[in-house]
Amino acid sequence: DVKVTQSSRYLVKRTGEKVFLECVQDMDHENMFWYRQDPGLGLRLIYFSYDVKMKEKGDIPEGYSVSREKKERFSLILESASTNQTSMYLCASSFFVGHSSRGDIQYFGAGTRLSVL
Amino acid sequence: TQLLEQSPQFLSIQEGENLTVYCNSSSVFSSLQWYRQEPGEGPVLLVTVVTGGEVKKLKRLTFQFGDARKDSSLHITAAQPGDTGLYLCAGAEGGADGLTFGKGTHLIIQP
């Protein structure tokens, strides 16, 4: 079975702190994604990566950065956390499908619920 | 940006009833996935449909992909409390634009 593991289920941080969310997948997937999920807004793509050291902006990249130093690990960084970044963060991974940089079937981690006070 | 509209947004029914939820778009997708998400967890893939008109069954769940590959439906027969969750559809465009998610249908099955 595909396993996508997010390092924390719950995090509470203060405004202005630097926050790292870690995600590891064990299926040798090329693609990895970070989403945030908010009531009424659905899943919104923050960043994705289709290869080591490669990254692409999603729909809402402002206030976030990412790092992919190894194929299995994709990190989301909040340089200076703000209260409007309180959300459920979901990591996903998939195989590379043809020339699509996002792939088809995505496998999700359990999510990190981040509260910024 | 392509959109997937899911309806209804919320549905609460009694155990044993049947229900259908819908996923509609004006755009064509190369494939469409259905996920279920339970509170506090990540989405879990239920099924992928690829061919226009395709019907897939997963126990009491029946998934259909529209002939034109623009829409899909999920029908649940004899719903059970364990079916409670957020049902998400997601369309793949088969090109550089990638995966598009609907906002989901919140389903509650009351015992």
Q: pLDDT digit string (tens) for B20-46?
A: 999 999 888 888 999 999 988 999 999
CB contact under 8 A, B96 and A100: yes
Answer whether A105 sits within 8 Å of B95, measured CB to CB.
no
Among A48, A104, A113, most B C-beta atoms within 10 A, so best to mutate, is A104
Residue B96 with chain A: CB contacts under 8 Å: 99-101
Could you give the 3-state DSSP secondary structure of residue A85? helix
Backbone region of residue B98 per phi and psi (left: phi > 0; alpha: psi in -120 to 50; beta: other values): left
Testing the interface with A: which of B6, B36, B99 to mutate, by most A Cβ within 10 A? B99
* CB distance B76 to B82 below 8 Å: no
Residue A84: pLDDT band by 50, 70, 90 thresholds? very high
Sign of the CA dihedral running A48, A51, A55, A56: negative
Average pLDDT on B48-62 reads 93
Q: What is the rounded CA–CA span in Å between residue B97 and residue A99?
A: 10
Distance from CA of A2 to the nearest CA of B (A): 11
Q: What is the mean pLDDT of residues B95-105?
A: 76
Which domains does chain A carry? 4-97+106-112 (2.60.40.10)
Alpha carbon distances (Å) from B6 to A19, B60, B110: 33, 20, 22
Q: B81 pLDDT exceeds 90?
A: yes
Cis ω for the linkage preceding B8 (within 30 of 0) = yes
Q: Which pair of tokens denotes residue B58?
A: 């997963």
Give the pLDDT score at B50: 87
DSSP state of A19: E
Instruction: Report chain B residues whose CB lies below 8 A from the CB of A109.
Output: 42
Ordered domains of chain B (ranges, CATH): 27-110 (2.60.40.10)
Measuring CA to CA, which residue among B110, B42, B30, B35 is closest to residue B70? B30
Q: Counting one residue from A and one from B, how many pairs have CB atoms under 8 Å apart? A: 63
Mean pLDDT over A102-111 rounds to 80
Residue of B109, B87, B92 whose CA lies nearest to B34: B87
Here the tokens at position A101 are: 């940089």
Closest by CA to A82, choosing from A105, A115, A106, is A115
Question: Measured between CB atoms, which of A59, A102, A111 is closest to B42?
Answer: A111
Is residue B38 within 8 A of residue B85, CB to CB? The reply is: yes
